[in-house]
Every structure is written in C-alpha cells, then in structure tokens.
Copies of this chain bind each other. A is one copy, B any other.
Amino acid sequence: MTDLKTGANLLFLREEEIRQGVELLFYAYRDFTGEPDKILARYGFGRAHHRALYFVGRKPGMSVSELLSILHITKQSLSRVLKQLVDDGFIDQRPGDHDRRQRLLTLTAKGAALERELFVRQRERFSRAYRAAGAEAVNGFRKVLAGLADEPPPALARPPISGK
C-alpha cells in the first residue's frame, strides 16, 4: 500500500477505470438491443429493420443516402431491409421535390405503430436509468457518449413542426 500514487499505479487505475467503462458499454448495449429483437422477430424482422424504422421515423423524408451515412453500411445491405419494409407496408418512398433521383423515406401508419411499439420499451429502459442516475448524470452520460463517437453526431433535427 506504499505506492498508491506512483505513475505505474496511476496508469493501472486509469486502465481499470477504462475497462469498467468498456464493460458497462457492452452490457448496456447488449440488453438495450436484446429487448426489441424479441418483438421484431414476431414480424420477421431483425435489428437492421429496427434501425431503418427508427431513423426514418426520426427524420421523415430522409433520403436513402442520408440513411446510409448514419448507419455506415453498404447500400446493398440497406436495400435488402428497406425493400422488405416497403413491400410489407411499413415505409413509403416518394421522389424528392428538388431532386427526383432521390427516394425520400417516410413511415406509414403501420410503420409508425411498430416504431412506437419498439420505442416505448426502450424509452422505459432509459427512463428507469435516467431517473435512477439523476439529471446531472444524464448530462455526463451524453457528454461521454458524444466523445466516444468519431464525429459530432449529426443534428438529426426534425423538420419544424408545421402549422401556426
């Protein structure tokens, strides 16, 4: 117990601290995704479908390339799940207003309902965690997560809510 503050010991503490973070991130992500997966299976969908539903719901009218740049997957991978979602009536496509090459994506009522069903579970999980940790902790949570990603995550702002 005599070398608690030596450089090597500080380094060890630092590494231990970081490994705890790595593990917490793994456990949180594992359980956070595990719950929706069970619901999706009932529709014959998987995690990839969830991501598409989520982000299209988040920004209605998003283009395919915009979605690709969020997901960081190939268009071949995306087009498979997108095709299923469109064929099954969960997502609508329409040509872009200014650029008619684009296919702008929106959720159908059916798609919005499924997205909501999935989200309420995750919202409940987040609510519990946020409540238990407190407002200050939530701020720290967001700061660190933002720092872990490669770039500042894109705004993803909803188009302004229309009407008065």
Contact = CB atoms under 8 A, between A and B. Distances in A.
Interface of A: 14-15, 17-32, 34, 51, 54, 58, 72, 119, 122-123, 125-130, 132-134, 136-150, 153, 156
A15 to B, nearest CB: 7
A127 B21 contact: no
Contacts of A146: 24, 28, 129
- Where chain A touches its partner, the secondary structure class is helix
Nearest to A132: B147
Given A25-B32, A136-B140, A147 B122 contact: no
A138 B122 CA distance: 22
B28 A149 contact: yes
